């Protein structure tokens, strides 16, 4: 996670470097530390250091780290020639290294030779089955080929061992949603909520999935998670507010004719619509009529 | 003794200084040798997985109230059922760590390498000091000390009449052996392999049983009561929205 102060520091350094104020190396170090993706800048400033032999040698052993960083950035920007040069330099310096082997495999992947890259990753994993980066690359490889079920398979294999990696769970959840496998996606989101119970986005996505699944019980639960999102975001999340309205109307439709045993909090829905109306008045008053007609079609009144 | 002993300057030049220099050089050499011999050990698959299982089970315990009861029960069964739950350790499989240590030749090998790199140079230098410099009074410390320090400073000289502030060569060796650690961490960087005390700690840490962690986590999971926190959130959301609207 990148905190606010770190981000401002990064942006300040970036503008300084962009305007020729120096500090390129510090900027690159910070990018590496925060693991942010600013490949174009990294490529530009990293190359300017690498092409200047005096600056490069003053880095000492960090030089090779920079080569690696620039190589990955270059692959991201599809400057394959640059990436290849960097990898070749590293290859000359560390002929046996697994880390360089990983870069080579990534280069193959960037070129689009999927089969070779796949083979390279597999052999890397045979040597060290606990290389998380290679596992993830393999998932990305399958995903890049459009082979989503393959990606799911790899991810599941990875999660069997590294089951505390919530980023992987998140990726898996998103893939499941895109394949409309909502039950599995719901499980993944539950896992995410467990690992970070205070992140409202997970509550929101979980509620979305539950709402999509449908059924009275799921709808009730979805409504609860929408409310928790509202609580965690302080009512600023428009999607959660709409979610409350949708859930209430769907629940009302489903439970029509049945005895309403738990007629819980009609307030919540009217409050949500009121909050939405206020929000629209402030930010997009032109769309207010659309909103009211939408409410009318949902048969909810404010 | 009334008069002070006068130490020959040749002793300083040929005993005190060489001894110190040799000790430092050997320390540095040992660092590089142990660095060479250190084999990169791959973590054991089971250990990695168990660590991750424990983390996930802990998450489940901490966040249990944030997921619906049905999901929680399913997960708890997954973790702690008696047949193939992830946290369930079959009886008798809790391996004796001692036995495990000896059954794994790599681990024994690693420890032997570490010990060898420590013991061999120490015996050699000790023999060298004993052979060439035994019985020398190598230095004098500039302040008086009580009799209790005699065994520390005058190892190898069995004279009770010599003043305690004189240091014998063998004691000087020992002082160097234990006292140069600070210097090494200056020369070789913080994480040098010289730190003997730390190594001792590691060795005693071997007695830990990883399966205990699992069963402790399982007990923790078994006893928690699931109380879904979400219904409360509806009221809290209402409160938030009321504040927002008004």
Residue range A68-87, pLDDT digits in tens = 999 999 999 988 999 999 99
Chain A, 190 to 209: residues with Cβ < 8 Å from chain B are: 190, 193-195, 197
Across the interface, whether the CB atoms of B63 and A194 are under 8 A apart is answered yes
Asked if residue B71 lies in contact with residue B63, where contact means CB atoms within 8 angstroms, the answer is no
**8 A C-beta contact, residue B228 and residue B69:** yes
C-alpha A130: how far from chain center: 22
Mean per-residue pLDDT for B90-102? 58
**Are the CB atoms for B164 and B153 separated by under 8 Å?**
yes
Of B24, B77, B79, B72, the C-alpha closest to B50 is B79
**How far is residue A102's CA from residue A141's CA, in Å, rounded to a whole number?**
13
Does a structural domain hold residue B4? no
- Return all residues near B147 (Cβ < 8 A) that are at least 6 apart: B164
B225 in a structural domain: yes
What are the chain B neighbours of A221 within 8 Å (beta carbons)? 68, 230
Q: Which long-range contacts (CB under 8 A, 24 or more apart) does B92-96 make?
A: B93/B211, B94/B209, B94/B211, B94/B212, B95/B211
Residues 6+ apart with CB under 8 A from A7: none
Instruction: For residues A214 and A229, give the distance between their C-alpha atoms in angstroms, rounded to a whole number.
Output: 19
User: What ipTM score was computed for the predicted complex, to two decimals?
Assistant: 0.77
Q: How many independent structural domains does chain B possess?
A: 1
B107, part of any domain: yes
B100 closest CA partner among B46, B151, B63, B141: B46
Has residue B183 been placed in a domain?
A: yes
Instruction: Inspect the interface and report whether the beta carbons of B43 and A130 lie closer than 8 Å.
Output: yes
E runs forming strands in chain A: none
Question: Cβ distance A134 to A100 under 8 Å?
Answer: no
B 53-82 → A contacts, CB under 8 A:
53, 55-56, 59-60, 62-64, 66-68, 71, 75
- Mean pLDDT score, B62-90: 83
Question: Do residues B129 and B173 make contact, with C-beta atoms less than 8 angstroms apart?
Answer: yes
Question: How many Å separate Cα A21 from the centre of its chain?
Answer: 33
Residue B97 predicted with pLDDT over 60: no
Q: Which residues pair with B167 in a beta bridge?
A: B139
Residue B177 placed within a domain: yes
Instruction: Please tell me if residue A133 touches chain B, with a CB cutoff of 8 Å.
Output: no
Would residue B85 count as lying in a domain? yes
Q: What contacts B160, CB < 8 A, 6 or more positions away? A: B150
**Lookup: tokens for B69:** 């009861």
Distance from CA of A95 to the nearest CA of B (A): 18
Q: With 60 as the cut, is the pLDDT of residue A261 above it? A: no
Would you say residue B234 lies in a domain?
Answer: yes
Between A232 and B115, the higher pLDDT residue: A232
How far apart are the C-alpha atoms of A292 and A201, rounded to whole Å? 27
| Residue B127: inside a domain | yes
Instruction: Say if the Cβ atoms of A194 and B237 lie within 8 Å.
Output: no
Residue B152 pLDDT class (50, 70, 90 cuts): confident
* A268/B244 touch (CB, cutoff 8 Å), yes or no: no
Whether the predicted pLDDT of B244 surpasses 60: yes
Whether the per-residue pLDDT at A152 is higher than 90: the answer is yes
Phi, psi of B166 (to 5 degrees): -85, 140
Confidence of residue B2 (pLDDT cuts 50, 70, 90): very low
The rounded mean pLDDT for chain A is 87
Query: Using an 8 Å Cβ cutoff, are B190 and B26 in contact?
Result: no
pLDDT band with cut points at 50, 70 and 90 for residue B205 = very low
Question: What is the number of residues in chain A?
Answer: 302
The reply to whether residue B244 touches residue A278, judged by beta carbons under 8 angstroms, is yes
With contacts defined as CB-CB under 8 Å, which chain B residues touch A223? 234
Percent of chain B, pLDDT > 70?
Answer: 80
| Tokens at A206, concatenated | 């979980």
The pLDDT of residue A32 is above 80: yes
- The domain of B45 spans 9-245
């Amino acid at each position: 996670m990148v905190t606010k102060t770190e981000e401002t520091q990064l942006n300040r350094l970036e503008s300084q470097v962009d305007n020729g104020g120096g500090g390129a190396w510090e900027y690159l170090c910070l990018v590496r530390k925060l693991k942010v993706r600013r490949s174009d800048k990294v490529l530009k400033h990293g190359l300017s250091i690498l092409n200047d032999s005096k600056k490069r040698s003053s880095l000492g052993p960090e030089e090779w780290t920079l080569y690696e960083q620039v190589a990955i950035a270059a692959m991201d920007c599809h400057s394959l020639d640059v990436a290849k040069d960097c990898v070749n330099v590293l290859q000359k310096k560390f002929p046996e290294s697994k880390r360089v082997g990983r870069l080579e495999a990534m280069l193959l992947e960037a070129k689009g030779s999927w089969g070779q890259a796949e083979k390279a990753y597999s052999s890397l994993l045979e040597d060290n089955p606990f290389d998380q980066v290679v596992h993830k690359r393999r998932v990305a490889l399958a995903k890049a080929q459009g082979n989503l079920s393959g990606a799911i398979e790899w991810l599941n294999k990875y999660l069997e061992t590294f089951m505390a990696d919530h980023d992987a769970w998140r990726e898996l959840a998103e893939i499941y949603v895109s394949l409309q496998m909502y039950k599995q996606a719901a499980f993944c989101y539950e896992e995410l909520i467990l690992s970070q119970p205070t992140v409202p986005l997970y509550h929101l996505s979980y509620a979305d999935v539950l709402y999509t699944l449908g059924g009275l019980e799921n709808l009730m639960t979805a409504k609860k998670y929408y409310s928790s999102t509202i609580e965690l975001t302080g009512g600023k999340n428009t999607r959660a507010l709409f979610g409350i309205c949708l859930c209430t109307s769907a629940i009302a439709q489903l439970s029509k004719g049945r005895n309403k045993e738990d007629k819980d909090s009609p307030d919540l829905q009217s409050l949500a619509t009121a909050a939405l109306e206020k929000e629209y008045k402030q930010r997009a008053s032109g769309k207010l009529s659309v909103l009211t007609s939408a409410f009318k079609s949902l048969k909810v009144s404010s | 003794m009334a008069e002070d002993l006068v130490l020959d300057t040749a002793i300083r030049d040929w005993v005190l200084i060489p001894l110190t220099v040799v000790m430092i050089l050997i320390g540095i050499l040992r660092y590089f040798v142990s660095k060479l011999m250190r084999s990169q050990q791959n973590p054991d698959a089971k250990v990695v997985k168990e660590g991750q299982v424990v983390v996930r089970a802990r998450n489940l315990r901490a966040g249990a109230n944030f997921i619906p009861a049905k999901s929680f029960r399913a997960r708890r069964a997954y973790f702690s059922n008696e047949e193939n739950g992830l946290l369930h350790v079959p009886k008798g499989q809790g391996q004796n760590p001692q036995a495990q240590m000896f059954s794994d030749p790599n681990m024994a090998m690693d420890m032997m390498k570490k010990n060898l790199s420590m013991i061999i140079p120490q015996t050699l230098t000790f023999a060298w000091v004993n052979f060439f410099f035994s019985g020398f009074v190598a230095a004098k410390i500039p302040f008086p000390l009580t009799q209790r320090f005699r065994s520390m400073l005058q190892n190898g000289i069995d004279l009770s009449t010599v003043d305690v502030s004189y240091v014998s060569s063998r004691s000087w060796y020992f002082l160097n052996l234990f006292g140069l650690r600070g210097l090494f961490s200056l020369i070789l960087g913080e994480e040098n392999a010289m730190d003997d005390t730390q190594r001792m700690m590691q060795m005693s840490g071997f007695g830990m049983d990883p399966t205990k962690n699992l069963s402790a986590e399982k007990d923790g999971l078994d006893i928690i009561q699931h109380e879904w926190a979400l219904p409360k959130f509806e009221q809290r959301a209402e409160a938030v929205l009321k504040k927002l609207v008004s």
